[in-house]
Amino acid sequence: MKQTHLLVKVTNFALALVLVLPPVARRGTTMTVGVAAAPPAGGDPPEEFLPSANAIVGAATGSGKGLQKDSDVRNETFKSSWTRNGSIAPSHSKHSGLFPSVVIRRYEFTGEDTAERIQIVFSEFRLPSKLEPNECGEMDILLIYFKVDGRDEVVETLCGDTLPKPILSNGPWLMLEFRSTYNNTENKGFTADFSFVTNYGVTTGYQPNKTDCTFHYFKNASSQGWIQSPNFPGAYPRNIRCNYFFYGDPLDYVLIRFTYFDIEGILPNLLECRV
């Protein structure tokens, strides 16, 4: 059935959209938002507002324990007080008898502020496995570690040749562990960009407080645009509540149209929503 457009009248000059995300990580949503202007009532227009799957969850354990004696292990540390963003790309070349049979590269990221999170965006990923899709086994893999109740826990194990979605940490700490045990020179590895963020991976709107997932959208800054769930198109963090507030003129209408919708417990075919 074809769905008609829904217009929402804003009677108190502001509209609030609250996104309460359940404790199951999903890709989330993106939305386009349009504010239809009210008939001009005279006077000057307002000034512009100035402030501006190739993953297996929990499929591996350990952090280098039980490695062979000829393992090549290297650790790199990144702190937000040293650099806010950059790139990582493990380089290794393995040939039987010349190089270690096991290569371990660990990348540890620590935010100096508790409000900071680490976002990882992959630009290249090639760690093919001989197993079935989404089965990594003991081949070349990339482990993603979060802090969970004070412990370092693997939350994802990545392999294959499909570019992973962006990753957003659940707090100011994250570690990547690259394990290469498969002697295949065609496996290129991966390259990724990292950044320390306080905006939960939401790149639009004005965030008044960096500790809250709350964003404001003002008509005098833009009459239309788009909003997204945290870290889209990657999985959003668990147990998070985000607020989106829209401010327009009296008698303005706000139309919200979903271009992508995938939230646990809600049908994914919702295209428009009356707020």
Least confident range from 33-42, 117-126, 176-185: namely 33-42
Of the listed ranges 28-32, 112-116, 211-215, the least confidently predicted one is 28-32
* Alpha carbons 203 and 192: distance in angstroms, whole number: 19
Task: Report CA 152 to chain centroid distance, whole Å.
Answer: 19
Cβ–Cβ < 8 Å for 211, 200? no
Lowest mean pLDDT among 36-50, 64-78, 175-189, 259-273: 36-50
Report how far apart the first and last C-alpha atoms of the chain are (Å, whole number): 21
Q: Can you tell me the distance from the alpha carbon of 102 to that of 69, in angstroms, rounded to the nearest whole number?
A: 9
CB-CB contact of 156 with 144 (8 Å): yes
**Structure confidence at residue 272 (pLDDT):** 62
Per the model's pLDDT, the better-predicted residue between 129 and 196 turns out to be 196
Cα–Cα distance list, 275 to 1, 90, 225, 268, 271 (Å) = 21, 47, 17, 17, 13
Nearest Cα to Cα of residue 30 among 265, 258, 235: 258
> Domains along the chain?
1-37+219-269+271-275 (2.60.40), 55-59+69-197 (2.60.120.290)
Fill in the amino acid letter for 274. Answer: R
Please give the model's pTM, rounded to 2 decimal places: 0.74
Predicted pLDDT at 139 = 75
pLDDT tens digits, one per residue of 74-94: 999 999 999 999 999 986 544
Going by pLDDT thresholds of 50, 70 and 90, the confidence category of residue 23 is: low
Contact 179, 103 (CB under 8 A): yes
* Both tokens assigned to 131: 């197993």
Chain center to CA of 77: 21
Q: Name the strand (E) or helix (H) holding 29.
A: strand 28-36
Of residues 188 and 114, more confidently modeled: 114
CA atoms within 13 A on the CB side of 98: 6
Q: Looking at the predicted structure, is the pLDDT value of residue 200 above 90?
A: yes
Residue 205: closest CA among 217, 191, 222 = 217
Measured CA to CA, the distance from residue 87 to residue 99 in angstroms comes to: 25
Q: What is the pLDDT of residues 110-126, one digit of tens each?
A: 999 999 999 999 999 98
Task: Output the six-digit token pair for 79.
Answer: 């702190």
